[in-house]
């Protein structure tokens, strides 16, 4: 009786206590929600070794292995090959790094984290937008590490500082575009193991079916035609042209069209599949 009568007393009888408001707090805004998921992505650089390893260790190993083991056989000397290969290895590292957030989203959906987010009063696409926005810093790190190593090894971009900056900016756009491809399969395939298998297979085809490792002109005619259809080929050609200052208008147009095609083909279906999972 004492307990129930105490709970029934009005708040005025307890002047020293604050009575919590029954008014519902306002829902977080779009910018706040996107910033939260972007920060969640950045935190993983510190606590998830796969993300940091893909951003830092992987590009260093690729640069050293291909330059000194294959460079002499392909271009005569490692130094000559480095001039051709370094812009390509940056593209390779970024494409490999871009799938990490997609696989993380797939695991979130499979483990129930997605259901918890879906029950909150936030702008639901913030999960996709914020995650991809937070990847910008990781992509920048993945770009700068092999570039710095290449400069130490003797890489000299003929396009100068401006050409390198433009190339890195273009790579941010291309990596954002190709991320929609991985996001599409991350949302489409429910099992994490199956999603990882499909994404890794497609990544292998895109990377090694391109002109990253060798010029497409040295390939058989049928293979050269296939390689030229690969968006990664256009990204590597655009990056090389910007860094060395010899980019043609046609190559720049092809590089930008490759980005636009990836966004148009995969962004809308990914958003539709993601929204369907919320019903």
CA 90 to CA 183: how far, in whole Å? 21
Amino acid 16: pLDDT: 54
- Band (pLDDT 50/70/90 cuts) for residue 21 is low
pLDDT score of 56: 78
Average the pLDDT over each of 73-82, 103-112, 230-239 and give the range with the smallest value: 103-112
Average pLDDT value for residue range 202-208? 93
Question: How far lies 184's CA from each of 35, 121, 243, in Å?
Answer: 22, 24, 31
Residue 49's pLDDT is what? 66
Q: Is the pLDDT of residue 1 over 50?
A: no
Q: pTM for this structure?
A: 0.81
Range scoring the smallest mean pLDDT among 79-88, 127-136, 187-196, 231-240: 127-136
Give residue-wise pLDDT tens across range 132-163: 777 788 888 889 999 999 999 999 999 999 99
Mean pLDDT of 169-196: 92
Confidence of residue 25 (pLDDT cuts 50, 70, 90): low
Q: What is the pLDDT of residue 255?
A: 96
pLDDT at res. 18: 56
Domain ranges (residues) in the chain: 28-276
Segments in the chain forming alpha helices (H):
2-8, 30-47, 49-52, 58-65, 71-75, 78-98, 100-111, 113-118, 126-153, 160-188, 192-208, 221-227, 231-244, 249-276
First to last CA, the chain: 46
pLDDT of residue 22: 61
212 has a pLDDT exceeding 80:
yes
Query: Are 34 and 126 a contacting pair, CB within 8 Å?
Result: yes
Rounded Cα–Cα distance for residues 45 and 66 (Å): 26
Segment 58-83 mean pLDDT: 88
Least Cα distance to 262 among 132, 124, 89 occurs for: 132
Question: With bands split at pLDDT 50, 70 and 90, how would you rate the model's confidence at 3?
Answer: very low
**Of 22-26, 61-65, 237-241, where does mean pLDDT reach its minimum?**
22-26
Q: Which of 162, 37, 55 is nearest to 98 (CA)?
A: 55
Residue scoring higher pLDDT (1 or 106): 106
Q: Please check whether residue 183 is in contact with residue 105, taking contact to mean a CB–CB distance below 8 angstroms.
A: yes
pLDDT value for 51: 64
For residues 106 and 4, the model is more confident at 106
Q: What is the pLDDT of residues 81-121, one digit of tens each?
A: 999 999 999 999 999 888 887 888 888 788 877 777 777 77
| Nearest-5° Cα angle at 141, 211 to 202 | 40
Rounded average pLDDT over 261-273 = 91
């Amino acid at each position: 009786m004492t307990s129930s009568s105490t709970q029934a007393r009005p708040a005025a009888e307890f002047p020293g206590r604050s009575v919590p408001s029954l008014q519902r707090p306002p829902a977080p805004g779009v910018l706040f929600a996107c910033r939260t998921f972007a920060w969640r992505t950045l935190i993983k650089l510190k606590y998830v070794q796969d993300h940091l390893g893909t951003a830092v260790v992987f590009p260093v190993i690729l640069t050293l292995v291909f330059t000194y083991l294959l460079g002499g056989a392909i271009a005569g000397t490692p130094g000559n090959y480095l001039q051709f290969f370094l812009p390509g290895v940056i593209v390779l590292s970024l494409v490999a790094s871009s799938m990490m957030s997609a696989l993380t989203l797939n695991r979130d959906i499979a483990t129930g984290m997605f259901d918890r987010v879906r029950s909150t009063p936030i702008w639901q696409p913030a999960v996709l937008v914020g995650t991809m926005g937070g990847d910008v810093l990781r992509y920048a790190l993945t770009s700068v590490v092999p570039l710095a190593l290449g400069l130490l090894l003797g890489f000299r971009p003929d396009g100068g500082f401006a050409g390198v900056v433009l190339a890195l900016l273009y790579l941010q756009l291309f990596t954002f575009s190709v991320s929609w491809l991985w996001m599409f399969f991350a949302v489409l395939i429910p099992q994490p193991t199956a999603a990882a298998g499909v994404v890794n297979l497609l990544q292998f085809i895109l990377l090694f079916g391109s002109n990253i490792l060798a010029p497409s002109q040295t390939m058989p005619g049928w293979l050269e035609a296939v390689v030229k259809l690969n968006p990664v080929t256009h990204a590597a050609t655009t990056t090389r042209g910007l860094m060395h200052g010899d980019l043609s208008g046609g190559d720049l147009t092809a590089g930008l069209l490759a980005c636009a095609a990836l966004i148009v083909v995969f962004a809308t279906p990914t958003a539709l599949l993601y929204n369907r999972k919320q019903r």
